[in-house]
Homo-oligomer: A and B are copies of this chain.
Amino acid sequence: MPSPTPLSGYPEWLPAERAVEQCVVDALRRTFELHGFAGIQTRAVEPMEQLLRKGEIDKEVYVLRRLHADEPDAGTPEPARQLGLHFDLTVPFARYVLEHAGRLEFPFRRYQIQKAWRGERPQEGRYREFCQADIDVVDKDTLPFHYEVEIVEVMAAAFAGLPLPALRMQVNNRKLVQGFYRGIGIEDVAAVLRVVDKLDKIGAAAVEAALVETVGLSAKQAQSCLQLAQISGSDASVVDRVRALGVHGDELDTGLHELALLLDGARGSIREGFELVADLRIARGLDYYTGTVYETQMAGFEHLGSVCSGGRYDALASDGRTTYPGVGISFGVTRALAPLLSRGLLTASRSTPTCVLVALANEDSRGASGAVAAALRARGVAAEVAPAAQKYGRQIRFAQRRGIPFVWFPASGGETSSVRDIRSGEQVPADAESWLPPASDLRQQVVVQDATG
């Protein structure tokens, strides 16, 4: 069989790269759990009728078929009963909440770190298989506003533990935007949002033109929309600048009040490497958002688009009797990491978890070397025995090639056991029942390469 070639859009990592991704996933999970989010997993597939409910992205869904399902005896399921791979974690979560509502406690705080699939054209930042890390808080019937602030706090805490470039979270409020649009006489709010969402891509002039020509706004209305979209800032002055546009209404007032509360409430989360700004151009194309919306840019990687997005929705799901409002955000693990890994900006301190290679004097002493490794493992030190009783120089080179920092020489003859740091060459007597490596060597660490170096 010839060497296989990579599949475009399906990134796959070497062991050291995967160690970085695993560290990131572990750090996210730890923060989410410290904040009381319960981890769940949903199956990879959903009925097509669930996946197509939002309409827009149906082209990107992968449909499943059993290889011989089209044989005469098997029958083909109706299209709606076919299964497709989920393209995000929100649709399956909404279905999970409805399906298990009777056995969940609300408000329900959950995190979910899983892969999703979209059959779109691959490019940097867009993959056919990608990992996402979502948190949501979902309640029955009503959900207090304070959770919209908490989402920022939790993600800021999570980001603080990740080896990423500086992040800038941009927030907006749907009530604000909608109230403003309605205040100037716009009825089809969704149509305007879809056009304004393209501001970064096509520029102000094209957006203004499209608002007039496609959506049918007056020139004045279009101009007001653009003025609103161009407001940004990190404090309450944003509210003043919206007020200065002279539009009024209850919904707008509520939105402005919530935006000010959010900026104020989440102020404590701002630190070096994490910025929070109100940016009133942030629209998020999806219809279901009804309050705060979030997007996040990674410094130097703005071309990826947002690496962490979400918002408040008044109806994540509904079974006709009960409605489930929620607020959530989704961090694109693959979208954020793949460009950093493929550029070599992140790597692991070694390609294996092994901290100590236990050398082998001869094949008959494999049991003795194995006992040393077992003693180290019992105290949490990852250890393996050399594959073969080669000359010690070759065993040391075996460790070197993997970045294993220590080689252990078991007691033999009259000599006591010793351990060598193969980076410095320093070798000291050591007892497997008590020796510990420096904390920084115990586990694989993420190493951030200086992009300018």
Give me the interface of A with B, judged by CB distance under 8 Å: 1-7, 10-15, 18-19, 21-22, 33-45, 47-48, 50, 53, 58-69, 83-85, 95-96, 98-101, 103-105, 107, 109-110, 115, 117, 119, 129, 139, 144, 146, 153, 157, 317-320, 351-354, 366, 370, 377, 380-384, 387-388, 401-402
Contact = CB atoms under 8 A, between A and B. Distances in A.
B61 A63 contact: no
Contacts of A117: 44
A61 B2 CA distance: 23
A34 B3 contact: no
A18 B39 contact: yes
Considering residues A59, A100, A353, which has the most beta carbons from chain B within 10 angstroms of its beta carbon? A353
B353 A33 contact: yes
Nearest to A68: B59
Given A38-B351, A105-B402, 12 more contacts: A1-B317, A1-B319, A12-B43, A12-B96, A12-B99, A14-B100, A48-B67, A58-B67, A62-B65, A63-B67, A64-B64, A107-B387
Nearest to A398: B105
B352 A15 contact: no
Contact of A59 (B67, B115, B366, B384): B67
Given A44-B44, A351-B38, A380-B34, A64 B66 contact: no
Contacts of A48: 67
Nearest to A42: B12
Given A109-B352, A129-B43, A38 B67 contact: no
A2 B107 contact: no
A84 B62 contact: no
A320 B5 contact: no
Nearest to A29: B22
A33 B382 contact: yes
B34 A351 contact: no
A98 B47 CA distance: 35
A144 B387 contact: yes
B96 A3 contact: no
A15 B110 contact: yes
A14 to B, nearest CB: 6
Contacts of A34: 353, 377, 380-383
Given A15-B39, A62-B64, A319 B3 contact: yes
Closest 6 CB pairs of A and B: A36-B384, A36-B354, A33-B353, A66-B119, A15-B38, A10-B43
Contact of A98 (B4, B44, B377, B387): B4
A107 B357 CA distance: 13
Contacts of A144: 387-388
Given A4-B95, A319-B1, A387-B107, A40 B66 contact: no
Nearest to A357: B36
A66 B67 contact: no
A24 B39 CA distance: 14
Contacts of A39: 15, 18-19, 22, 353
A385 B194 CA distance: 37
Contacts of A7: 43, 45, 47, 83
Given A387-B144, A402-B105, A1 B318 contact: yes
A139 to B, nearest CB: 8
Given A35-B384, A319-B2, A377-B34, A41 B67 contact: no
